[in-house]
Amino acid sequence: MRIAVQGCSHGSLNAIYDTVIQYQQHTSKPIDLLLLCGDFQALRSKHDFASLAVPPKYHSLGTFHEYYSGKKKAPVLTLVIGGNHEASNYMWELYHGGWLAENIYYLGAAGSVYVDGLRIVGASGIYKDHDYRKGHFEKVPYNNSTLRSVYHIREYDVMKLMQLSHRDHTIFLSHDWPISIARHGDTGALLRRKPFFREEINSNTLGSPPLYTLLNHIQPSYWFSAHLHVKFAALYDHATLTSKAIPKLEATLPSIPLAGDHALERNPDEINIDDEDEFDYQQPAPILATGNPDEITIEDDEFVEPQSQAAQENEEGGDPDEITIEDDEFDEPPTAPLDLLAGQPEVNAKDELRVDDSADLVEEARKKGNGIKTTETIGAPVQRVKEVVEASKEEKVSPEGRQTRFLALDKCGPGKDFIQFFEIDTASSVVMDRPPRLTFDPEWLAISRALHPYFSTSIQQSTLPSHAALEQLISDEKKRIEEEGLLVPSETVNEDGTVDLVWEKGLVEVERVQKFWPTAPSQDQLGPNGEGGSGDQWYTNPQTEAFCGMLGIQNKVNPAPM
How does pLDDT run across 479-537, given as a tens digit for each residue?
999 999 999 999 888 888 888 999 999 999 999 999 999 999 999 988 666 666 676 78
Residues 17 and 75: beta-carbon distance below 8 Å: yes
> What pLDDT does residue 357 have?
30
- Residue 424, pLDDT > 70, answer yes
Residues 126 and 84: beta-carbon distance below 8 Å: yes
Dist CA 316 CA 304 (whole Å): 16
> What pLDDT does residue 414 have?
86
Residues 109 and 152: beta-carbon distance below 8 Å: no
DSSP 55-105: -GGG----SHHHHHTTSS--SSEEEE---SSS-HHHHHHTTT-EEEETTEE
> What pLDDT does residue 84 have?
96
**Of all helices (H) and strands (E), which one includes residue 233?**
strand 232-237
pLDDT band at 239 (very low <50, low <70, confident <90, very high): confident
Q: Mean pLDDT check: name the lowest of 54-63, 143-152, 165-174, 246-255.
A: 246-255
DSSP 304-363: --HHHHHHHHHHHTS-TT-----TTTTPPPPPTTTSTTTTPPPPPTTT---HHHH--HHH
- Residue 171, pLDDT > 80, answer yes
> What pLDDT does residue 493 have?
87
| DSSP helix/strand/coil, 26 | helix
Which residue, 294, 296, 301, is CA-closest to 57?
301
Higher pLDDT, 19 or 345: 19
Which residue, 10, 1, 2, is CA-closest to 418?
10
On the question of a cis peptide bond just before residue 141, with omega within 30 degrees of 0, the verdict is yes
- Residue 273, pLDDT > 80, answer no
pLDDT band at 451 (very low <50, low <70, confident <90, very high): very high
Q: Average pLDDT, stretch 312-320? A: 34
> What pLDDT does residue 538 have?
82
DSSP 8-state class, residue 460: B
> What pLDDT does residue 484 have?
95
- Residue 335, pLDDT > 70, answer no
Dist CA 170 CA 217 (whole Å): 12
- Residue 256, pLDDT > 80, answer no
> What pLDDT does residue 177 have?
98
Residues 68 and 544: beta-carbon distance below 8 Å: no
> What pLDDT does residue 562 have?
64
State whether the Cα torsion 412-416-417-420 is positive or negative.
Answer: positive
Dist CA 553 CA 384 (whole Å): 49
> What pLDDT does residue 132 have?
97
pLDDT band at 319 (very low <50, low <70, confident <90, very high): very low
> What pLDDT does residue 42 have?
97
> What pLDDT does residue 526 have?
85
Higher pLDDT, 242 or 274: 242
Q: For residue 313, how many other CB atoms are within 10 A of its CB? A: 14
511-535 burial code (b ≥16 CB/10 A, e <16): ebbbebebbbbbbeebeeeeeebeb
Domains of the chain: 2-240+401-551 (3.60.21.10)
Q: Mean pLDDT check: name the lowest of 116-120, 286-290, 357-361, 493-497.
A: 286-290
Dist CA 406 CA 233 (whole Å): 6
Dist CA 64 CA 58 (whole Å): 16
Q: Mean pLDDT check: name the lowest of 61-70, 344-353, 527-536.
A: 344-353
Residues in the chain: 562
How does pLDDT run across 427-450, given as a tens digit for each residue?
766 666 788 999 999 999 999 999
> What pLDDT does residue 167 have?
92
Dist CA 407 CA 561 (whole Å): 44
